[in-house]
Amino acid sequence: MKAGLSIVVPLYNEANGLARLHAQLADVARKLAAARDLSVEVVYVDDGSRDGTLQIARALPAAALDVQVLALSRNFGKEAALAAGLDHAARAAVLFMDGDGQHPPALIETLVAHWLDGGYDVVYTAKAHRENESALRRLGSKTFYALLNWGARQRIPEDAGDFRLLSPRAALALRQMPERNRFFKGLASWIGFRQIRVDYEPAERLHGATAFGWASLLGLSIEGLTSFSVAPLRLASLLGVLLAFSALLFGVSMLFEVVVYGVAVPGYPSVVVGLMVLGGVQLIMIGVLGEYVGKILSEQKARPIYFIAEHSVKAAEDETGATRTAAE
């Protein structure tokens, strides 16, 4: 493993803004080479894009930094793309960032400074504020992190994103995590070491709109909770206790009315409501258990997280622009 920094960028339909992002990363690489004599490479992971992202990535010049292009055999999801980039990073330290331009490349120098000058192993970024988001989305985010960190020994910082830098030993530790149902934010926090937060203002997207709508965010939240926390199981248990206690109080109140006032409680409505409540809670608990059983089954099958359809490497010192391509 060479000394230096690998920048891992997962891509999905980012053809329109990729050339501009690459130029910005090349400028950062030149500054890091001049100021810190730091060797830099970028690892683009095409996660089954449907536009011309892969073709543009292949043609990007290796000016000031080495360029790796990984093409996954299909769309495996962002977590798999991050894992692929980590596995193929050729430098000791690894930095992860999105390909839509909202993670400002200019901030990379700050993250590197915290690593090299401050001695931090994990330098993660977080949005400085969520004022531009709806109240419902902010509430959903707070609820998610509250559940995720409920009873957790290692808390995951609220609003932390995937834009973060890992020192060589932190990157090595993350590579040793064998699970297939991965939640990158959680894993990067769980490994420990010295960590520091850097707040930033997200830049405007280079093009288009985010692919993460409410349905995608809900799915990602469920995936994160069930992959990295037992909070849903604890919540289901507490809900069962609450219902049992409520049923006990209801039974005592009915008995009191019959004995003291001689009032017979109507049976049919109370029975129907009770059955509906209990049935709904049971279905919720079965669903929660099903999510965890599905995760266990996935881990037991031990299928690969991703497959590489194409892998090209372009070295910065290669003035001819030739590439080495290996199909995997």
Q: What is the mean pLDDT of residues 72-97?
A: 90
Contact 314, 197 (CB under 8 A): no
- Cβ pair 150, 231 in contact under 8 A: yes
Q: For residue 120, what pLDDT is reported?
A: 92
DSSP 90: -
- Can you tell me the distance from the alpha carbon of 184 to that of 162, in angstroms, rounded to the nearest whole number? 7
Dist CA 14 CA 314 (whole Å): 20
Poorest-pLDDT segment among 121-125, 167-171, 276-280: 276-280
* pLDDT at 8 exceeding the cut of 90: yes
Assign 305 to helix, strand or coil: coil
The predicted-structure confidence for 223-234, as pLDDT tens digits, reads as follows 666 666 666 777
Q: What is the pLDDT of residues 242-280, one digit of tens each?
A: 777 777 777 777 777 777 777 666 666 667 667 777 777
Q: Do the bridges between strand 2-11 and strand 66-72 make them parallel or antiparallel, or are there none, so unpaired?
A: unpaired
Q: What pLDDT, on a 0 to 100 scale, did the predictor assign at position 115? A: 92
Q: How far apart (Å, rounded) are the C-alpha atoms in residues 246 and 277?
A: 11
Residue 95 has pLDDT above 90, yes or no: yes
141 vs 14, residue with greater confidence:
14
2-213+304-326 to CATH, choices 3.60.20.10, 3.90.550.10, 2.40.10.220, 3.90.1150.10: 3.90.550.10
Token couple for 13: 């339909």
pLDDT of residue 321: 46
pLDDT score of 216: 59
**Are 11 and 42 spatial neighbours (Cβ–Cβ below 8 Å)?**
no
* Average pLDDT of every residue of the chain: 78
Among residues 90, 63, 71, the alpha carbon closest in space to that of 7 is found at: 90
Q: Please report the pLDDT score of residue 5 as a whole number.
A: 92
Position 228 scores a pLDDT of 67
Least confident of 107-116, 192-201, 287-296: 287-296
Q: With contact defined as beta carbons under 8 Å apart, do 230 and 237 qualify? A: no
Crossing angle of the two packed helices 168-175 and 78-88, in degrees rounded to 10: 120
Angle between helix 135-148 and helix 231-256 axes, rounded to 10 deg: 100
pLDDT at 59 over 50: yes
Candidates 240, 299, 311; CA nearest to 57 is 311
Give me the mean pLDDT over the 8-29 stretch. Answer: 89
Phi, psi of 70 (to 5 degrees): -105, 130
Please report which confidence band the pLDDT of residue 289 belongs to, taking 50, 70 and 90 as the band edges.
confident
For the chain, report the end-to-end CA distance as a whole number of angstroms: 20
**Around 14, how many Cα atoms within 13 Å sit in the side-chain half-sphere?**
24
- CA atoms within 13 A of residue 191's CA, in its CB half-sphere: 24
More confident of the two residues 320 and 141: 141
More confident residue, 250 or 173: 173
Please give the pLDDT value at position 93: 92
Is 56 a residue whose pLDDT tops 80?
yes
Please enumerate in sequence order all residues whose Cβ is within 8 A of that of 196, keeping only pairs 6 or more positions apart, or say none.
Answer: 114, 118, 120, 122, 123, 124
Between 280 and 63, the higher pLDDT residue: 63
Share above pLDDT 90 across residues of the chain, in percent, rounded to a whole number = 13
pTM of the predicted protein model:
0.71
Q: How many helices (H) and strands (E) does the chain have?
A: 10, 9
Q: Is pLDDT at 10 greater than 90 in this prediction? A: yes
The band of 312, judged by pLDDT with boundaries at 50, 70 and 90, is: confident
Q: How far is CA 58 from CA 55, 83, 187, 265, 315, in A?
A: 5, 20, 31, 75, 13
pLDDT band at residue 94 using 50, 70 and 90 as cut-offs: very high
